Structure 1
Amino acid sequence: MRLVIPFRNRARNSKCCYSMPRLHYLGTLIVVLISYFGCFVPTTLAQQTDAPKTQFLEYLALAEKGDPKAQFMLGGCFLEGLGVLKDPAEAVKWYRKAAEQNFAPAQHNLGTAFHYGRGVKQDYEEAVKWYRKAAEQNLGEAQNSMGFCYRDGYGVGKNYFEAVKWYRKAAEQGMVEAQASLGLCYASGFGVDKDYAEALKWYLLAAEKNSSGAQQSIASFYAMGLVGPKDDGKAAEWFRRAAEQGEAVAQYNLGVHLKRGLGVGQNHVEAAKWFRKAAEQNYAAAQKSLGNCYQRGEGLDQDIVEAYAWWSLAAATVPQAAADRNSLADQMSPDQILADFKRAKELRILIEQALNLKPWKPQRTVYFLQP
């Protein structure tokens, strides 16, 4: 089976040419994790509690007296809109006050603000300055952010050895994102000798804490036989765990396993369901496969209009989708083709709207303390 290795910037729309679904194992292992572990979603105080107005006022009173923890918590209130209207610039103001008193969580969040330009002008070098101050105080989130910056060259020269050093510090403290990123470094040979067994060790630690990216990579290891004999059953199990968390590549790969009966009972209906979930996240390979399902009537009712529409969406990055769409068009009337164009446009709008509705999430950890 030929493995498809998408380029990094095409993780969601890899240029793959095929008529049957192919498993994107290395795409899962390398490309998705590079983007994913630079873009993780933490659990924040806003997701855990409703800070009342009185809590905000208590923080304000203490913060104005110079209490760094209160200043930090006040910054969080302004950042998340807890007891006060959201105001990222005001959050930065209070984070800075606490950071200048050497309060590590505030230093890290101030770095995050500079990294993504929230409430302050984007400045990667300034972000690294504050990340480093917090990391040197052994704050795991900041150590992880330092690893990210060194890996991708944000505010510092790209240096995989330094990235591994900082990821390891954070990973040894139990930081799930750092554990997964360290697994990626071992799997890819970034700053360390390639070692799949060591990569699996770190991926498993992260996966047990529900890291969907790590779960995808473990699935790839089993599917490719990188740490022992191939095991399609375990691969399907791990792809499912990641797919259920919304990872498009895992959803697509689970669909392939179900379609072919790899390690699971063959089930075209379930395969089409997972292809659709990935396709609706604009994953081109899944759009092509979903079009195939409609064209052949596999797992859902045959519908050449839907087949044409989904192939049209995938056509820009999957050449076979363009070829199949054009071949289908030769068999259709002008009215049918017009209906196809309308449906493809409708699907594109729906997908863009769904993707745009996803709330903004910080791409580095925003650190919170419990009140």
Structure 2
Amino acid sequence: MMPSWVLALTACLSGVGAQAVLAQQTVPPTQAHEARALQVPLARLESAAADGDAGALYLLGLRYHAGQGVLQDFGRAADLFAKAAAQDNAAAQAQLAKYLYEGIGVAQDIDTAMVWFGRAAQAGAAQHQFDYAVALENRPVGAVDPAHAAQWYQKAVDQGHEDAAVSLGVLYQNGAGVAQDLDRARGLYQGPAAAGNGRAQNNLGLMYARGEGVAQDYDRAARLFAAAADRGVAQAMTNLGVMYENAFGVPLDEARAGNLYRQGGRYKTEIQSNGPAAPLYDPRFGPPDTSPEGLARMMEAVRAGDPVAQFQAGWLVLDRGDATHRELVRAAQMLHAAAQAGLPAAMANLGWMYFEGRGLPQDYVLGYMWLMRASAAGLRDAVALNAVLSRNMLPTQVTEAQALAAQSHD
């Protein structure tokens, strides 16, 4: 049997502990809520929120949370969520809990966060029950409560929540908070795995690779790891690499194994795997004319101060992928001029350059600020790009970036 340390188990959707909760709160809670927030005119939301309407307070909070039509402002969002939460709006309670858990927009207060998680879960929505269970399972050392988490995962499972089933399966597989029951774990993984849940596929594959509660079956394990890898599960890529390196269920292929190891290690940081590919282009301008004559006209327009030409010229440099440092510095100058003129895509690409340190000193705060401004100007891809690039930022850096954006917006 393969040593247990060779393959690793993916226990949580986005890592463990507070990181998993942060990953959930840095994007709008649900597509339905986001769509609803955008459907209501901002002025109407602000008016209803001023009158104390809990639904309007929550939806307006989502606007500030995601920076949709307004400058992103977690502090303002937290205040709106708190007012709606006080009126027993469960969705607002869940969002406020995530903010308090991470210290986003407010001072970190895990104990109070747990109270709000619990109140939201008691309202009965499966997603809120799952969020509460995740927080219970991943509290700081000494406060972890896997037994209580298992109870809330089960409530969400009873309503058909796939990720709750996978998380509960992990607890049964490891005997954490519940008596170890490998048959129960396998049963919890099977439904979500068949439905295409990458976490479930990886974890079920691990059981077959180890022969844990099932007859050892490397062929089936490899197929499950491959399916999970196709869905972006980084650990599954690494696990599949182990299979190829050792010819477990697949032909020996060390080159492919090495490639899978590299993918598994870097996948979480690749923009193309998690959001829109950078650099971003604004299709309203049409494709740039890259003929010699077209490029000559473009550069003449750049020298004349045309912001569209500045944006297109800068974008062409970034899009090549092999620009020299001097060319990147010039591209940053052109994009900065176009951004100052109000072009959202120029703002977004400038922000990306700051995050990546391309042609500019790496600066997460300035990168976040420019992507915020692009989002507020209506560039939807900037929201997703910012969510990916800002994952390693500290809450204090986010707050500083939001303050800078507010100053530049005034």
Q: Distance in 2 between matches of 1:269 and 1:135?
A: 47
- Give how far 1:279 is off: 4.0
Contact 1:186 1:192 in 2 (8 A): yes
User: Counterpart in 2 of 1:198?
Assistant: 184
CA deviation digits over 1:123-159, x for unaligned, max 9? 0011011111111111222222322233233599433
Contact 1:252 1:278 in 2 (8 A): yes
Letter of the structure 2 residue corresponding to residue 3 of structure 1: P
Letter of the structure 1 residue corresponding to residue 3 of structure 2: L
Out of 57, 61, 85, which is 1:99 matched to? 85
With a CA cutoff of 8 Å and minimum separation of 6, indicate the structure with the bigger relative contact order: 1
1:170-249 paired onto structure 2 within 5 Å? 170-249=156-235
Contact 1:260 1:266 in 2 (8 A): yes
TM-score by length of 2: 0.59
Contact 2:17 2:140 in 1 (8 A): no
Letter of the structure 2 residue corresponding to residue 206 of structure 1: P
Q: Distance in 2 between matches of 1:37 and 1:220?
A: 25
Letter of the structure 2 residue corresponding to residue 129 of structure 1: V
Check 1:252–1:141 CA distance in 2 against 1; reply closer, same or farther (3 A cut): same
- Give how far 1:29 is off: 5.5
Q: Distance in 1 between matches of 2:200 and 2:96?
A: 28
Check 1:32–1:143 CA distance in 2 against 1; reply closer, same or farther (3 A cut): closer
Letter of the structure 2 residue corresponding to residue 229 of structure 1: A
User: Counterpart in 2 of 1:35?
Assistant: 16
Q: Distance in 2 between matches of 1:238 and 1:136?
A: 35
1:12-51 paired onto structure 2 within 5 Å? 23-24=6-7, 27-28=8-9, 35=16, 39=20, 44=28
Contact 1:234 1:263 in 2 (8 A): yes
Letter of the structure 1 residue corresponding to residue 186 of structure 2: L
- Match of 2:212, SS state, is coil
Question: Can you give the 5+ residue segments of structure 2 that lack an aligned partner in the other structure?
Answer: 269-386, 394-410
| Number of residue pairs matched by the alignment | 276
Letter of the structure 2 residue corresponding to residue 360 of structure 1: R
TM-score by length of 1: 0.64
Check 1:53–1:188 CA distance in 2 against 1; reply closer, same or farther (3 A cut): closer
- Match of 1:28, SS state, is coil
Q: Distance in 2 between matches of 1:203 and 1:37?
A: 24
**Is 2:346 the counterpart of 1:360?**
no
CA deviation digits over 1:334-367, x for unaligned, max 9? xxxxxxxxxxxxxxxxxxxxxx9644399xxxxx
- Give how far 1:197 is off: 1.3
User: Counterpart in 2 of 1:149?
Assistant: 135
User: Counterpart in 2 of 1:86?
Assistant: 72
User: Counterpart in 2 of 1:307?
Assistant: none
- Higher fraction of helix: 2
User: Counterpart in 2 of 1:118?
Assistant: 104
CA deviation digits over 1:269-311, x for unaligned, max 9? 42232122124469xxxxxxxxxxxxxxxxxxxxxxxxxxxxx
Q: Distance in 1 between matches of 2:92 and 2:13?
A: 30
Indicate the larger mover: 168-177 or 260-269: 260-269
User: Counterpart in 1 of 2:3?
Assistant: 3
Q: Distance in 2 between matches of 1:265 and 1:240?
A: 14
Check 1:78–1:174 CA distance in 2 against 1; reply closer, same or farther (3 A cut): same
Out of 123, 143, 164, which is 1:137 matched to? 123
How many percent of aligned residue pairs carry the same amino acid?
A: 27
Q: Distance in 1 between matches of 2:36 and 2:91?
A: 21
Q: Distance in 1 between matches of 2:233 and 2:53?
A: 42
- Give how far 1:243 is off: 1.9
Check 1:146–1:154 CA distance in 2 against 1; reply closer, same or farther (3 A cut): farther
Contact 1:128 1:155 in 2 (8 A): no
User: Counterpart in 1 of 2:259?
Assistant: 273
Contact 2:247 2:253 in 1 (8 A): yes
Q: Distance in 2 between matches of 1:208 and 1:37?
A: 29
- Match of 1:57, SS state, is helix
